[in-house]
Amino acid sequence: MSTALKSLIDQPYRHGFVTDIESDSVAKGLSEDVIRLISRKKNEPDWLLEFRLKAYRHWLEMTEPTWPNVKYPKIDFQDIIYFSAPKPKKKLASMDEVDPELRRTFDKLGVPLHEQAALAGVAVDVIFDSVSVTTTYKKKLADVGVIFCSFSEAVREHPDLVRKYLGSVVPHGDNYYAALNSAVFTDGSFCYIPKGVKCPMELSTYFRINTQESGQFERTLIVAEEGASVSYLEGCTAPQFDTNQLHAAVVELVALDNANIKYSTVQNWYAGDENGRGGIYNFVTKRGLCKGVNSKISWTQVETGSAITWKYPSCVLLGDNSVGEFYSVALTNHMQQADTGTKMVHIGRNTRSTIISKGISAGGSNNSYRGLVKIGAKADGARNFSQCDSMLIGDRCAANTFPYIQVQNDSAKVEHEATTSKIGEDQLFYFASRGIDAEEAVSMIINGFVKDVFTQLPMEFAVEAGRLLGLKLEGSVG
Amino acid sequence: MTKEEAPVLLEVRGLAAKAGSAQILKGIDFTVRAGEVHAIMGPNGSGKSTLSKVLAGHPAYEVTAGTARFDGQDLLAMAAEDRARAGFFLSFQYPVEVPGVANAQFLRLAYNSIQGARGRDELDPLEFDDYVREKMKLLEMAPAFLDRSLNTGFSGGEKKRNEILQMALLEPRLAFLDETDSGLDIDALRVVANGVNTLRNDDNAVVLVTHYQRLLNYIVPDYVHVMDGGRLVKTGGKELAIELEARGYDWIQKSAA
Q: What is the pLDDT of residues B1-54, one digit of tens each?
A: 455 689 999 999 999 999 999 999 999 999 999 999 999 999 888 999 999 999
Q: Is B99's CB within 8 Å of A430's CB?
A: no
Contacts of B96 in chain A (CB under 8 A): 426-427, 430
> Does pLDDT of A471 surpass 80?
no
CA distance A8 to A465: 17
Short-list A468, A444, A473, CA closest to A457: A468
Contact criterion met (CB < 8 Å) for A427 and B98 = yes
- Partners of B114 on chain A (C-beta within 8 Å) are 434-435
Rounded Cα gap, residues B147 and B135, in angstroms:
16
Nearest neighbour of A435 by CB, restricted to B60, B84, B98? B84
Domain ranges of chain A: 3-473
Per-residue pLDDT tens digits for B224-238? 999 999 999 999 999
Give tens-digit pLDDT for B63-82: 999 999 999 999 999 999 99
**Residues ≥6 apart with Cβ < 8 Å to A117:** none
A124 backbone dihedrals φ, ψ, rounded to 5°: -120, 130
H helix intervals, A20-99: 32-41, 46-61
Which residue is closest to A427 within chain B, CA to CA? B96
What pLDDT sits at residue A154?
93
Q: CB distance from A451 to chain B under 8 Å?
A: yes
Domains, chain B, ordered by start = 3-94+172-256 (3.40.50.300)
Element (H, E) at A203: strand A202-208
Distance between CA atoms of A392 and A359, rounded to whole angstroms? 8
ipTM of the complex in this document: 0.96
Beta carbons of B99 and A448 less than 8 Å apart? yes
Half-sphere exposure of A367 (CA within 13 A, CB side): 31
Ramachandran region of residue A123, left (φ > 0), alpha (ψ -120 to 50) or beta?
beta
Q: What is the pLDDT of residue A12?
A: 62
Q: What is the pLDDT of residue A228?
A: 97
**Which of B93, B101, B151, B173 best tests the A interface by mutation, with the highest count of A CBs <10 A?**
B101
Determine which helix (DSSP H) or strand (DSSP E) holds A452, and give its type and residue range.
helix A438-454
* Residue of chain A whose alpha carbon sits nearest to that of B149: A448
pLDDT in tens, A261-287: 999 988 887 777 788 788 888 999 999
Return the residue of B nearest to A453 by Cα: B100
Cβ–Cβ under 8 Å, residues A181 and A221 = no
Residues on chain A touching B110 (C-beta within 8 angstroms): 431, 434-436
A-chain residues near B56 (CB < 8 A) = 429, 433
**pLDDT per residue over A231-246, tens digit each?**
988 876 655 666 677 8
